Amino acid sequence: MIKWLCLAVCTAFLLSGCGRQGEDGQASQDSAKESDNLIVVGLSQVGSESDWRLANTRSYRETFTEENGYYLIFDDAQQKQENQVKAIRDFILQKVDYIVLDAIAETGWDAVLAEAKQAGIPVILSDRSVRVEDDSLYTSWIGSDFCRQGERAGIWLRDYLEEKGRAEEPINLVTLQGTLDSTAQLGRTEGFAKILEKQDNWTMLEQRTGEFVQAKAREVMEYFLETYPDIDVVICQNDNMAFGAIEAMKEQGKSYGKYGDIIVISFDAAEAALEAVRKGEINADFECCPDLGPLVDETIKKLEAGEEVEKIQYVEETYYD
Ligand code: GYE
């Protein structure tokens, strides 16, 4: 976890302890707010599809505590956008002070975010962004520069192949994409494509979604291995999908990683995946910081003080190989 304390985070906020927090809108946030002057936050989370997501939820729960001045109403959408829309409507009815949205997909938010705006509730996007006609429907987006992550992965691969004397060799790639239309999937795909399109000898055989989930990625990787006998590189748009891909490669007797045939690239750099990098099972892993709670907190505190906040706030990140 230590590794994942985002560089842009102010340490003062990390001192806040883990206290009791609101559960799923059951308790009366009105009384909590009135007696303690707490800021009521309605948070709509994507689900629990990956290690990254669990760490991200932990960060929110550890940040939005009563000790830190909050009453948290947390809703897990279980990977369904309609659940997120419903949660936002509930938050509006409950007159929360802020809505924090970690959007499953980028599109489909205009109507419900307009309802939040109408109700005068600021919406802060965390981790993933949205595509809406009117940008004033949200106050700020705090997350990763996913496009930069994808581009870095492409640059890393180009340099690695050059170092191995393979710069001119034909290279076949496949991609296990995340949830389609999510900011992480779109950005990582677009960023990598910027490098891919400049390499005449690289061929992207196929890109298919594994929905950021290990079991699904394993199935897709099995299909890739059966369909394409000569894969040189698998790009996994998160660590859990890299684990799924590794399971499929092991099962089919393929060698992979630093000491094998198929180069494995991943994103997130969760603890278990870093162990796989150390063992040489994953060649390179591009960090994505899940510890967004303190940054959202900082933004809310600024808004409470009547200060301006940046429309887009990117977190600084690195990579491991
Ligand atoms: O990479 C993946 C998760 O949006 C950055 O979502 C997040 C992505 C992360 O399920 O593991």
Q: Beta strand 98-101 with 70-76: parallel, antiparallel or unpaired? A: unpaired
Residues 164-197: pLDDT tens digits? 999 999 999 999 999 999 999 999 999 999 999 9
Ligand 1 centroid, distance to 52 Cα (angstroms): 6
Ligand 1 centroid, distance to 212 Cα (angstroms): 7
292-301 CB burial, b ≥16 within 10 A, e <16: bbbbbbbbbb
For the CA of 239, the closest atom of ligand 1 is 11
In 6-150 the beta strands, taken as DSSP E runs, fall at: 39-45, 70-76, 98-101, 123-127, 140-143
Write out the H or E segment, with its range, that includes residue 277: helix 271-279
pLDDT tier, 316 (very low <50, low <70, confident <90, very high otherwise): confident
| Per-residue CA distances from 211 to 79, 176, 231, 285 (Å) | 10, 8, 21, 18
Give the pTM: 0.89
Instruction: Report pLDDT for 160.
Output: 98
Average pLDDT over residues 264-281: 96
Instruction: Report pLDDT for 33.
Output: 52
Average pLDDT over residues 63-79: 97
Lowest mean pLDDT among 26-40, 116-130, 224-238: 26-40
Q: Taking 50 as the threshold, does the pLDDT of residue 14 lie above it?
A: no
Ligand 1 centroid, distance to 169 Cα (angstroms): 32
Instruction: Report pLDDT for 89.
Output: 98
For the CA of 268, the closest atom of ligand 1 is 1
Q: Whose CA is nearest to atom 5 of ligand 1?
A: 184
Best substitution site from 6, 44, 46, 50 to test ligand 1's pocket, by max atoms within 8 Å of Cβ? 50
Ligand 1 pocket (Cβ < 6 Å) reads 49-50, 52-53, 127-128, 184, 212, 238, 267-268, 288
Best substitution site from 149, 212, 239, 240 to test ligand 1's pocket, by max atoms within 8 Å of Cβ? 212
Instruction: Report pLDDT for 229.
Output: 96
